[in-house]
Amino acid sequence: MQKKGLLIVVSGPSGAGKGTVLAHTIAKYSNLKYSVSVTTRAPRAGEVDGVNYFFKSVKEFEEMIARCEFLEYKRVYDNYYGTPLVNVQKQLDDGYDVVLEIDTEGALDVKNIYPDAVMIFISPAKRSTIEERLRGRSTESEEQIQTRTQSALKEIRQAVFYDYIVVNEDSQKGAMDIIAIIEAEKCKVKNNKKFIDNLINGGK
């Protein structure tokens, strides 16, 4: 029905299990593709340019910023990370649905540039889950865990700016929810104006 793909933006606090939910989603729903980010950090062993990241120099990255070639970008310590607009556009034009996994700040930038983006917030089921997951996977101090928990709660406050919230109690169920959201969005009247117009005015 709809040729052009959907841009799906996924955010959520660390400890919400975004990565696992998205991996299940992409495994089940082959039309959904990750966007490949651009970075200035050095490739790690086994990473392939154009597959894991597009690896660029700081100079190249800053030239891309100057040419407004990013949907969103950020600097983390000495490295830049960004979502290249033209590549995302190419994937969407090819009919793929594209998912960006970005923080709430970058997500709102994307929504400004691309208002049709479908905004999904992945949340833990309970507040205590965040702390448990951070504790479970890290060797950080109690103080660091508390800081990260507070930062997670700050992210959760941004959930109200999203279209959907997927509660990750079970990552397979979370993936099914994301697929349902994509399927439902493809049925939205606003995404099928051309079809309706053809039905009313078009030939048989």
164 interacts with a copy of itself by CB under 8 A: yes
Starting at the edge strand found earlier in the chain, the sheet holding 79-84 runs 53-55, 37-39, 79-84, 70-76
Alpha carbon distances (Å) from 86 to 53, 55, 92, 135: 15, 16, 10, 39
171 interacts with a copy of itself by CB under 8 A: no
Nearer to a copy of itself, 58 or 196 (CB): 196
189 interacts with a copy of itself by CB under 8 A: yes
Nearer to a copy of itself, 105 or 183 (CB): 183
Q: Are 35 and 88 in contact (CB under 8 A)?
A: yes
Q: How far apart are CA 165 and CA 118, in angstroms?
A: 11
Q: How many residues in the shown chain lie near a copy of itself by CB under 8 A?
A: 39
Provide the minimum distance between the beta carbon of 1 and a copy of itself in the complex, in angstroms, as a whole number: 6
Please report which residue ranges of 114-169 form alpha helices under DSSP H: 127-137, 142-157
Provide the minimum distance between the beta carbon of 30 and a copy of itself in the complex, in angstroms, as a whole number: 17
163 interacts with a copy of itself by CB under 8 A: yes
108 interacts with a copy of itself by CB under 8 A: no
- Residue whose token pair is 């049925």: 187
Backbone φ/ψ region at 7: left (φ over 0), alpha (ψ -120 to 50), beta:
beta
Contact residues for a copy of itself (CB under 8 A)?
1, 120-121, 123-124, 126-128, 153, 156-157, 159-160, 162-167, 176-177, 179-181, 183-185, 187-189, 192-193, 195-196, 199-200, 202-204
